[in-house]
Amino acid sequence: MKIISLSDVEKKEVHMEGAVGAWRQLPLGSGDGTPVYSYRVFTVEPGGHTPYHNHPYEHMNYVIEGSGALVNEAGEETPLKAGDFALVNPDEKHQYRNKGDKPFKMICGVPKEFE
């Protein structure tokens, strides 16, 4: 078993082309012996966003705090707020944007091979 507070997890800036004001934490991952999934936490600062990208695996998200939007391949934005879940299927182009004046924070579950 492992129990850890998010406040004790190192926060690293996302250094991917197109990322602005995005940070990543890895509270549970393959280094902890996770059998299938890893949980990452992304924090996007006001006015920031993740890269507009796709990948060959699904990820499941849960918004912890703040308000934002999930942008699809057509450029359409779907609003998100604390308490919302989102699923991005494999190969779907997407981006998360902070649409509020406070940090937008979400849990992102991915297969451990892609943490």
Read off the pLDDT of residues 78-107 as tens digits, 9 standing for 90 and up: 999 999 999 999 999 999 999 999 999 999
Residue 53 CA from chain centroid, whole number: 12
Which pLDDT score is estimated for 38? 96
Give the start-to-end residue ranges of the domains of the chain.
6-114
Other Cβ atoms less than 10 A from the Cβ of 103: the count is 17
Q: What is the mean pLDDT of each run of 10 residues along the chain (115 residues)?
A: 96 95 97 95 98 93 98 96 97 97 97 90
Question: Which CATH architecture best describes the domain 6-114?
Answer: Sandwich (2.60)
Please spell the DSSP secondary structure of 30-99, one letter per residue.
GGGT-SSEEEEEEEEEEEEE---B--SS-EEEEEEESEEEEE-TTS-EEEEETT-EEEE-TT--BEEEE-
Which pLDDT score is estimated for 115? 87
* β pairing state of 59-65 and 104-111: antiparallel
